[in-house]
Structure 1
Amino acid sequence: MHIADLGDVQLHYRVDGDPDGAPLVFANSLGTDLRLWDPVLPLLPKGLKIIRYDKRGHGLSSAPPAPYGMGALVRDAERLLDRLQVRNCVFVGLSIGGMIAQGLAVKRLDLVRAMVLSNTAAKIGTAPMWQDRIDAVNAGGIESLADAVMERWFSKAFRATPELALWRNMLVRQPVQGYAGCCAAIAGTDFFTPTSGLRLPTLGIAGDQDGATPPDLVRETVNLIPGAQFHLMRGAGHLPCVENPIEYARVLGDFLASTGHV
């Protein structure tokens, strides 16, 4: 575990795999920390330098006062990668992490040579919807909407397993202001125009039972980028890397190979 002190925020990050390998960066979803990727990591090709971090307001990173802007979240990733002297990474972003991926690729193509947009979109939901979520969290805590979030995150089959409790606990233990701050960042983001100008290898991944970013929404965003690939994972919800890490790692590994990253 490491902490990068970026001044206005302290980011928790960790580096696994080959320290001299090709960089693969993961950015996780709203309400999760970097452990989201634990099931996938052992299944990935060898020779990768794997970088994960908790975005501001999540996990072991600091939680500055809300609200946050998407620009701040993109800048956090940018400053972390600059500090770690990372160039030409493949950036894997899930949900809000996929929005960070789009923003970072638009801003710094020297950092991102290819990206994976998992269960995400150029625009997610509406500003009033996110404001309702912020109001609910501020009034009743994350616990007040945890069950509804689990329904959006996971398939019915997964919700019947004991593992559901682990992910519910992860969600409710995030700082309220961090969760609300990132809700505000999503509410203010519409990347349709900047993302449509991107020209880099891109893979979109969707879950056919995703209640937060349905497959058609993911596909719409992926189709903005010429030549982008799309993969639908059946029987999986918003966090397919949790529900089916074997398939997720295989699809990701194939993409890394096709782009010459491994």
Structure 2
Amino acid sequence: MPQLSLSEGNTIFYDYTPPSTEEGVTFVFYNALTGDAGMWLSEIAPALQQAGHGTLVWNFRGQANSSFTPGLALDDLLIVADAGRLLLELKPPRCVLVGLSIGGLFAARTYLAGWPAAGMVLINTLRRPGPRLAWLNDAALRCAEVGGLELIKDLFGALIFNEEWLAQNRVNAFKDTPYTPLTPEHGHYRLLSDCRSADWDVPYEQLD
């Protein structure tokens, strides 16, 4: 399990495969807060690798196999800084930054911080700062407090996934077993809480 060690108790899990052709690019994936690298590794990364491209998937501190020290703010500034440290360490060629949900914000901020990119893919990313976004962020955190990630998926899934995915995964939702709350020390809880302050005022005109 490859990990980049940042300091004692702080690591970043990653999985990197360089391009196998001269024309290939490196797709660098940014998760949603409640996701992990597994969603990219299952089908998307293998298909891109088969086509000669490289892939770099990683988990934010607080997600699976990426550790953090107590008291550390797992906010957007930290995640973007971690992305820069990982890219500087691995130096993947011809990066295409791919972000899902708020991961797209982190991808954009990585580029705006000076990391060169051959392209960018933002998936369900655009947000308008204001009361509605603040409400949704607080609601997601309250769901985590009451019923963990399963409750978040059950309540917000229809707003996130397409109908094909919903039809295929309906059998795994709304189980009869009790929900399990997340504690305030849990990585996903910390990410949901700390990233509520993320700066969504992105100068999109500079993503050229």
Instruction: State the Cα RMSD in Å.
Output: 3.1
Instruction: Report if the CA contact (8 A) 2:146-2:181 is conserved.
Output: no
Q: Which amino acid letter does the alignment assign opposite residue 91 of structure 2?
A: Q
SS of corresponding position for 1:50:
strand
State the 1:83 CA deviation.
0.8
> How do 1:69-148 and structure 2 match up within 5 A?
69-110=75-116, 112-123=117-128, 126-148=133-155
Question: Following the alignment from structure 2 to structure 1, what is the Cα–Cα distance between the partners of residues 95 and 182?
Answer: 28
Distance 1:61 1:5, change over 3 A: same
Give per-residue Cα distances to partners, 1:218-249, cap 9 Å, x unaligned: xxxxxxxxxxxxxxxxxxxxxxxxxxxxxxxx
Q: Which amino acid letter does the alignment assign opposite residue 137 of structure 1?
A: A
Match of 2:34 among 28, 31, 34: 31
SS of corresponding position for 1:115:
strand
SS of corresponding position for 1:6:
strand
Q: Which runs of 5+ in 2 are unaligned?
A: none
SS of corresponding position for 1:59:
coil
Instruction: Report if the CA contact (8 A) 1:2-1:13 is conserved.
Output: yes
Instruction: Report if the CA contact (8 A) 2:27-2:96 is conserved.
Output: yes
TM (normalized to structure 2)? Answer: 0.76
SS of corresponding position for 2:3:
strand
TM (normalized to structure 1)? Answer: 0.62
**Range that drifts further, 127-136 or 3-12:** 127-136
Q: Which residue of 1 aligns with 2:4?
A: 4
Instruction: Report if the CA contact (8 A) 1:96-1:120 is conserved.
Output: yes
Question: Following the alignment from structure 1 to structure 2, what is the Cα–Cα distance between the partners of residues 164 and 22?
Answer: 37
State the 1:114 CA deviation.
1.8
Q: Which runs of 5+ in 1 are unaligned?
A: 200-262
Match of 1:183 among 171, 176, 192: 192
How many positions carry a matched residue from both structures? 194
> How do 1:227-238 and structure 2 match up within 5 A?
none
Q: Which residue of 2 aligns with 1:254?
A: none
Match of 2:59 among 43, 54, 66: 54
Distance 1:40 1:137, change over 3 A: same
